[in-house]
Chains A and B, each alone.
Chain A
Amino acid sequence: MEQKGLDFGEKARVLPGKRRALSVTELTDRLQGVLETEFFDVWVEGEISNLNQASSGHWYFSLKDDRAQIRAVVWKTAARLIKWKPKDGMRVLARGGIKVYAPRGDYQISVEVLEPLGVGSLQQAFEELKEKLAKEGLFDPAKKRPLPMLPRCIGIVTSPTGAVIQDILRVLQRRYANLGVLIYPARVQGPEAAYEIVQGIRALNRFKSVDVLMVARGGGSLEDLWPFNDEMVARALATSRIPTLSAVGHETDFTIADFVADLRAPTPSAGAERVVQAKEDMAARIDALTHRLDAAARIRLQRTRARVDAVRSHRVFEAERGRLRTYAQRVDDLSRRAETGVRRRLEQAGERRRRGTERLEAFRWDRLAAARRERIDGDARRLSEALRGRLRAHRADLARAVGKLESLSPLAVLQRGYALVFDERGTLVQRADQVAAGDVIDVRLHEGALRARVTPPGKADE
């Protein structure tokens, strides 16, 4: 690989306003990044011109319409699969990705699929149906229903044989083993498929237990996916009582079913992921609520403790203190139990991560996967550290709170035979002139309390 021009150190020019000039290579790199990412898979319709079918087996031509043109290439491997003879002037539908050729600073479309445009073209039928249903409002985003908060049973219309259902079940089993699954076996290819899919959608709608409905099929050609572009299928999905999920083909395939369904997943296993995600989101939400609950109780407790601290010199709050301690213990106890739950969940997350890691390794993915795994590992580690740290902090807080409460002990004073005197409003009486003869006072002793009436002073002890 040649060295890309990423080292601009000394050569870089600094323009006014701290802007730096790009090198041509850098600019081209960026254009390449944008173009090849944004247009890695496009359909384009146009007319062939300047066709050159070279002896190497590659085809070169331009695709044009009345206002623009783009260079196109069909490499030998793709050209071999094209069973018809293209000619200059023919209208075609090409599918491919934009490639930038840096040395010449131009771009072209690298064509994978080339179809003659004629009557009955599937793509045209697709567009027409799409437009018709869009006009009827079948794709209306406002009509999209969310998947259930916590799905209990998923109905799946798909072929019971083959890899797709296995892929789906593998995801469900791994991450949501207690989800019910009801499969309606249907052909997903060929002339009977659309009818069977419609029957499946309707049949599953009659099961009260089913609360999310997925139609699924693996990747294939436009013809293979055709049943999912059927109008009857679209209408069956649109009238489904149960929220629908369309998981058909590969990421780049779009079918009418995708547009009508409440949710479109790029692939069948991604569809399954979406369903299990609901459960994991819920678990996270409950955890978050539990943490907030914990924090709120703790703050409430701390506030009371602060009040006790503030009037500590009065030594009045012995009863409150005892109660507070009980409360603190209850919070401590409950949060310990909550913590056990959180720890278990952390362990489960760790287990999931471990299994995920194994799976990734089993697939022997490339460096991209390794990098992603590292990131997930890091995230999970940070998350569990953060959670553990927070729990530790909470427990330390609580221990401190209880310790502080121990230290105030006004009870000891009462035990020595002292008493606390309150007036009728509950104010602590510290000077004789706070009460008058005839007032009722409350006297709190080490054990129990007395209610008394003040008699005129005179034989005061002084």
Chain B
Amino acid sequence: MSADETPTFEAALKQLEEIVQRLEKGELPLEESLVLYEQGIKLSRLCHGKLEEAEGRIELLMKDARGDLMTDEAGKPRKTPFGQ
């Protein structure tokens, strides 16, 4: 949603894959390899973090007596938390 500097999960995973592939070729100078390695570890942690982020609310859309979705003042559909 946001366009800040942290990449999306998909982008981070793709970058991680590219880094692993470049490193596995083994053609880079040592210093560069190590920089890449560090980047890779960061991306790996970022990806794992992304797996756990987001709120995960369980919600139910609300319907009126006619079966139409209810909306709030802003015209947005109304939701209610849904319990187990």
Contact = CB atoms under 8 A, between A and B. Distances in A.
Interaction A to B: yes
B84 A169 contact: yes
Nearest to B41: A334
B48 interface: yes
Interface residues of B, number: 41
Interface in A171-214: 173, 176-185, 196, 199, 203
B34 to A, nearest CB: 5
B10 A149 contact: yes
Given A289-B44, A330-B38, A182 B59 contact: yes
A166 B84 contact: yes
Contacts of A181: 56-59, 82
A301 B26 CA distance: 10
Interface string A280-297: 001101100110110011
Given A173-B84, A296-B26, A338 B44 contact: yes
Contact of B23 (A169, A282, A297, A330): A297
B24 interface: yes
Contacts of B51: 150, 279, 282-283, 286
Contacts of A180: 54-59
A300 B28 CA distance: 9
A305 to B, nearest CB: 10
B82 A203 contact: no
Interface in A316-341: 323-324, 327, 330-331, 334, 337-338, 341
B25 to A, nearest CB: 9
A392 interface: no
Dominant secondary structure of chain A at its interface with chain B: helix
B60 A334 contact: no
Contact of B56 (A160, A179, A196, A323): A179
Contacts, number: 126
B19 to A, nearest CB: 7
A166 to B, nearest CB: 6
B56 A334 contact: no
Contacts of B77: 203
A292 B37 contact: no
A37 B27 CA distance: 54
A341 B10 CA distance: 20
A180 B53 CA distance: 11
Which of B10, B44, B50 has most chain A Cβ within 10 Å?
Answer: B44
Interface in B17-47: 17, 19-20, 23-24, 26, 28, 30, 33-34, 37-38, 40-41, 44-45, 47
Contacts of A334: 37-38, 41
Given A185-B61, A279-B51, A341-B48, A170 B82 contact: no
A303 interface: yes
A166 B82 CA distance: 10
B23 A293 contact: yes
Nearest to A293: B40
Contacts of B41: 290, 293, 334, 337-338
A242 B52 CA distance: 22
A289 B56 contact: no
Contacts of A323: 30
A24 to B, nearest CB: 55
A304 B16 contact: no
Contact of B33 (A177, A199, A297): A297
B23 A196 contact: no
A144 interface: no
B37 A293 contact: yes
A300 B26 contact: yes
A437 B25 CA distance: 44
A152 interface: yes
A152 B38 CA distance: 28
Interface of A: 149-150, 152, 160, 166, 169-170, 173, 176-185, 196, 199, 203, 279, 282-283, 285-286, 289-290, 292-293, 296-297, 299-301, 303-304, 323-324, 327, 330-331, 334, 337-338, 341, 345
Given A178-B53, A297-B33, 16 more contacts: A150-B51, A160-B82, A178-B56, A180-B57, A183-B58, A183-B61, A199-B67, A282-B47, A290-B44, A293-B20, A297-B34, A334-B38, A337-B41, A337-B45, A341-B48, A345-B48
18 contacts: A150-B10, A170-B84, A180-B59, A181-B58, A185-B61, A185-B63, A282-B47, A283-B51, A293-B23, A293-B41, A293-B44, A296-B33, A296-B37, A299-B26, A300-B33, A304-B30, A330-B38, A341-B45
Chain A to chain B: the 8 pairs with minimum beta-carbon distance, closest first: A296-B23, A178-B56, A297-B37, A293-B40, A181-B58, A290-B44, A300-B33, A286-B47
